[in-house]
Structure 1
Amino acid sequence: MKLQALTPIDMDIRGMAPADSASVHVESLKSSLYMRLVFGGMLVLFLLCTFASPLGYILPATFAGLLCIGMWRHAQVITGPVIALGLALIWILYRASVPEGADFSNYETYEKLVWLKAVLQAICYVPLVIAGFRLSMTDAGALMAGFKWGVLALAALALFEALTQARIYMALADALGMPIRPDLAVVKISLMSYGLMMIYWPMMLYFNQTGANLPRVLLTASVAIAPFFTGANAPTLALVASVIIFFVARRWSTLRGVGIEKYIAIMVYGVILGFPLLIKFAHEQGWLVALKSNLPPSWLARVEIWEYAANRLFEKPLMGWGFDTSRMFSPHIPLHPHNMPVQAALELGYVGLVLVAVLWLVSIRRVGKTPDAQIISPDHLLWTDPKPYMLATMTAFFVFAFLSFGMWQEWFLALAAMSIFIALMTQKASLQVIMYQNKL
């Protein structure tokens, strides 16, 4: 049996091997105790924050990013996304401003500089992604050995809390002397579904490879049922959308010789650029009047926010109103428009929106070059393609960004960075499982 060692940059899907041979893509990276400690700690905090407070995601993502800041020297593994992100940050800085009379001796002044936080997050979070590419299979397997049990415990907890309306969360709050209203407690535990949904497909990749049926059933039940009992609509929509993309990508990995990720990337690019125009056009045609009369309160609020923001953004369509200026439109826009394309266009104009769309375009296309966990055995029976799982994960994040959260919310971006790391970790851990099963 022939083994072929490749670097992470070269680890592309090569296609089917000849019938009389097998090929295994193996990374030539050394195991690192430092990587295990840093990211082991990050993963533990990720699980704890998913239950206790998603806002806490900032802590593990920032510290892990700082502790692996040297990964920037390997930025060539994601050259396209890094360049696109850099251009977007330059435009953000150009359209940002410093409050008049700002007192830089006061910490609160820095807290209000969202553009500064955006830059610092890019500096800290990008190394997490790069580290995912640089992680060795041995380290990935060691990290997954504990993380998988933590995920299953979290999934069971999320399901129990949803069915009992936050029974454990309220008991802990009472024990800590911080009682919380039952309805607010349910809102708090509903956020667990967002974190679980972001790691659902990577974990399914791993569990599918190990053939573990019970973990797959438990995890799926949690992401499918818990949102129903907590009233969280976005995770349910994210699950439905990601399931569609998963099966499309698995059925047509390539279409007319072109990777399916390129078609999806172009589609997302068009949606980002076209959505504000669509809202504006629907408003002018009077379509939104009939639509809003048939919407539940939460969706009605979203559509009204998008409608107002779309009208205001076309007052300054090219340059936008300025970075993080969504807040100035209160009460019509509470904090942010709850929609990535609308917020980007409103604040950064169509120049900024194009840069955001390009970042998504190159990031989705990069999925076709991620470290693949594939083995072609002589009988062609063993095959694990991570691409559908990764595209499904990006779909879930896109749905959340499109419906729920602001573009610059630190915890949401921290969740994205850690989810990418986890996705890459599961790919390599899955490959290690395949190699172990076949004694390679």
Structure 2
Amino acid sequence: MIRRAGPGGEVLASRHASDRADRLGAWCGWLVAGAFALLPALGWLGPLGIPILVALVGLLALPALRIEDHDRPIAVLLLVSLLWAAISTVWSPFHPSKPANNTALKLALELPLYWSAICAARRASPPLKRLALQVLAWGSALFGLVLLIEFMTDVRLYEILHTAFYQPIRHDLAQSNIGHATFVLALLWPLALAAAMKLRAPLWLALPMAAGVLAPAVRFASDAPVLSVPLAAGVGIAAWRWPRGGPRALAGAAVVYCLAAPLLVWAGRASGRYGALEAAIQPSWSERMSYWSHALDWTRDHPVRGWGLDASRMFGPGIILHPHDDALQVWLELGLVGALLMAAIWWLAVSRLARRTPQPRAAGVAASASVYLLFGAVNFGVWQEWWLALAAMIAMASGLMAEADPSQAST
């Protein structure tokens, strides 16, 4: 016999459904708060653990995985990009010897897991969103203080911990690792400041964050983080002062960078000053300029389809691992098709920050996005796991601060 539930049964079923939803919100909130609690420690002691952290959050939060209506354009672009990258392995000269070297496989796993982690931040219950933002703000300030201690003690704390829990480490490598840690904080602190503004927490928290980037970066020769602080401040102020035009200008600049990177290198060489500048600057920057020049030359061979995913690894000694420029690497490996997809993703991700009135979230995300573009242009390979995981962390922080907002610009 089948019994139809009366009105009371419908209310009870609704309450049960609400309880289950609340449990999911609490679960997601604790996952995300825990991730942001661990992020400073991983950024300091082991950045390579960041992708494991984000993937674990995504795996545990799979019940929250959703693609909302406003997500569909960028979700489609990401999926098409993944498919194009996978197809390009057919003609790539690089052949992975094991799963750990298979970039296409890793990207196929990262896309759903990182998306799930972002959905977890959106789905978290409001009290736990607030807790996670507090963890982000105060944790980033503590991260800055720790890096200031490393600056004042010449990485003594890092060496003690590394020796006690792993093995002795050369002093120059310890200095390099702390310099590397400043990249993580440089990406985090604009978001952390935005979180503090949203929570109405003390704004002086930004002081140890910014100082924690600048002081160690100067001492341990991390040039890009030094440049990132004034860049983030300028972009954040612009997005606050011009809440509609600022983010769109940044999105436009990202599109120009993605599409015109080879042209910029060509123009530099055509001026006749590229070689002289390459010979005059310090070795690390000279090597980058050499990689960029070689990337341009090899891109000309297959400008539309590229050489294939991870082909950069096969162009030594002209290029070691990757060109140290995200746009040039995409042009070299995935060609014009990949560059167009990259430009479209950046435009959608950043232009939607436009608002009619200033918002901490939009200013903070725009500032962190500008830092991500800077570091991608001069430092890291576009497919590096920890680098992509940090992009996911930026999106997670944005998801924590997002809310229904009538001031959002129309699209």
TM over 0.5: yes
1:306 equivalent among 289, 292, 299: 292
Tell me, in whole angstroms, the C-alpha distance in 1 between the residues paired with 2:135 and 2:237: 29
Larger displacement relative to structure 2 (292-301 or 148-157) = 148-157
Matches within 5 A, 1:324-343: 324-343=310-329
Larger displacement relative to structure 2 (168-177 or 228-237) = 168-177
CA RMSD of aligned residues (A): 2.4
Q: Report the CA distance between 1:417 and its aligned residue.
A: 0.5
Q: Which runs of 5+ in 2 are unaligned?
A: 1-20, 406-411
1:317 equivalent among 290, 294, 303: 303
1:292-314 CA-to-partner distances (Å, cap 9, x unmatched) read: 13311111111111011111111
1:49 equivalent among 33, 38, 42: 42
Tell me, in whole angstroms, the C-alpha distance in 2 between the residues paired with 1:146 and 1:253: 26
Alpha carbons of structure 1 residues 186 and 200: separation in structure 2 relative to 1, 3 Å: same
Tell me, in whole angstroms, the C-alpha distance in 2 between the residues paired with 1:35 and 1:315: 48
Tell me, in whole angstroms, the C-alpha distance in 1 between the residues paired with 2:377 and 2:228: 10
2:74 equivalent among 63, 81, 93: 81
Tell me, in whole angstroms, the C-alpha distance in 1 between the residues paired with 2:378 and 2:268: 18
Tell me, in whole angstroms, the C-alpha distance in 1 between the residues paired with 2:347 and 2:92: 34
Matches within 5 A, 1:18-97: 32-97=25-90
2:269 matched to which residue of 1? Answer: 283
1:420 correspondence with 2:406: no
Q: Report the CA distance between 1:225 and its aligned residue.
A: 2.1
Matched-pair contact (CA < 8 Å) for 1:338–1:404: yes
- Partner-residue secondary structure (3-state), 1:408: coil
Alpha carbons of structure 1 residues 328 and 384: separation in structure 2 relative to 1, 3 Å: closer
Q: Report the CA distance between 1:99 and its aligned residue.
A: 9.3
Alpha carbons of structure 1 residues 356 and 145: separation in structure 2 relative to 1, 3 Å: closer
Tell me, in whole angstroms, the C-alpha distance in 1 between the residues paired with 2:349 and 2:192: 21
Matched-pair contact (CA < 8 Å) for 2:55–2:117: no
1:395 matched to which residue of 2? Answer: 370
Larger displacement relative to structure 2 (108-117 or 392-401) = 108-117
Q: Report the CA distance between 1:385 and its aligned residue.
A: 4.1
Tell me, in whole angstroms, the C-alpha distance in 1 between the residues paired with 2:46 and 2:331: 30
1:225 matched to which residue of 2? Answer: 215
1:265 correspondence with 2:251: yes
1:252 equivalent among 236, 242, 265: 242
- Partner-residue secondary structure (3-state), 1:293: helix
Alpha carbons of structure 1 residues 250 and 384: separation in structure 2 relative to 1, 3 Å: closer
Alpha carbons of structure 1 residues 394 and 119: separation in structure 2 relative to 1, 3 Å: same
Matched-pair contact (CA < 8 Å) for 1:203–1:426: no
Q: How many residues align?
A: 381
- Partner-residue secondary structure (3-state), 2:99: helix
1:45-82 CA-to-partner distances (Å, cap 9, x unmatched) read: 32221111101101111110111223332343422221
Matched-pair contact (CA < 8 Å) for 1:155–1:222: yes
Tell me, in whole angstroms, the C-alpha distance in 2 between the residues paired with 1:316 and 1:78: 32
Q: Greater relative contact order: 1 or 2 (C-alpha under 8 angstroms, separation 6 or more)?
A: 1
- Partner-residue secondary structure (3-state), 1:405: coil
Alpha carbons of structure 1 residues 427 and 212: separation in structure 2 relative to 1, 3 Å: farther
Tell me, in whole angstroms, the C-alpha distance in 2 between the residues paired with 1:199 and 1:309: 30
- Partner-residue secondary structure (3-state), 1:334: coil
Tell me, in whole angstroms, the C-alpha distance in 1 between the residues paired with 2:201 and 2:98: 53
Q: Report the CA distance between 1:124 and its aligned residue.
A: 0.8
Tell me, in whole angstroms, the C-alpha distance in 2 between the residues paired with 1:420 and 1:180: 34
Percent identity over the alignment is 26
TM-score (norm 2): 0.86
Give the AA of the match of 2:369: M
Find runs of 4+ consecutive structure 1 residues off by over 6 angstroms: none
Give the AA of the match of 1:222: G
1:212 equivalent among 199, 202, 207: 202
Matches within 5 A, 1:291-302: 291-302=277-288
Q: Report the CA distance between 1:172 and its aligned residue.
A: 1.4
1:225-275 CA-to-partner distances (Å, cap 9, x unmatched) read: 221112111112222222221222222223xxxx43223212210121111
Tell me, in whole angstroms, the C-alpha distance in 1 between the residues paired with 2:166 and 2:86: 43
Tell me, in whole angstroms, the C-alpha distance in 1 between the residues paired with 2:197 and 2:30: 27
Alpha carbons of structure 1 residues 193 and 427: separation in structure 2 relative to 1, 3 Å: farther
Give the AA of the match of 2:196: F
Matched-pair contact (CA < 8 Å) for 2:44–2:181: yes
2:17 matched to which residue of 1? Answer: none
Q: Report the CA distance between 1:280 and its aligned residue.
A: 2.1
- Partner-residue secondary structure (3-state), 2:383: coil
Tell me, in whole angstroms, the C-alpha distance in 1 between the residues paired with 2:271 and 2:206: 46
- Partner-residue secondary structure (3-state), 2:321: coil
Matched-pair contact (CA < 8 Å) for 1:238–1:397: no
Alpha carbons of structure 1 residues 228 and 423: separation in structure 2 relative to 1, 3 Å: farther
TM-score (norm 1): 0.80
Matched-pair contact (CA < 8 Å) for 2:248–2:351: yes
Matched-pair contact (CA < 8 Å) for 2:306–2:333: yes
1:242 correspondence with 2:228: no
Alpha carbons of structure 1 residues 191 and 414: separation in structure 2 relative to 1, 3 Å: same
Larger displacement relative to structure 2 (245-254 or 156-165) = 245-254
Alpha carbons of structure 1 residues 426 and 223: separation in structure 2 relative to 1, 3 Å: farther
Q: Which runs of 5+ in 1 are unaligned?
A: 1-28, 375-382, 432-440
1:195 correspondence with 2:184: yes
Alpha carbons of structure 1 residues 301 and 72: separation in structure 2 relative to 1, 3 Å: same
Matched-pair contact (CA < 8 Å) for 1:313–1:346: yes
Alpha carbons of structure 1 residues 246 and 148: separation in structure 2 relative to 1, 3 Å: closer
Alpha carbons of structure 1 residues 343 and 99: separation in structure 2 relative to 1, 3 Å: closer
1:208-235 CA-to-partner distances (Å, cap 9, x unmatched) read: 3525144222222212322111211111
Tell me, in whole angstroms, the C-alpha distance in 1 between the residues paired with 2:332 and 2:315: 11
Q: Report the CA distance between 1:86 and its aligned residue.
A: 1.3
Matches within 5 A, 1:159-170: 159-170=148-159
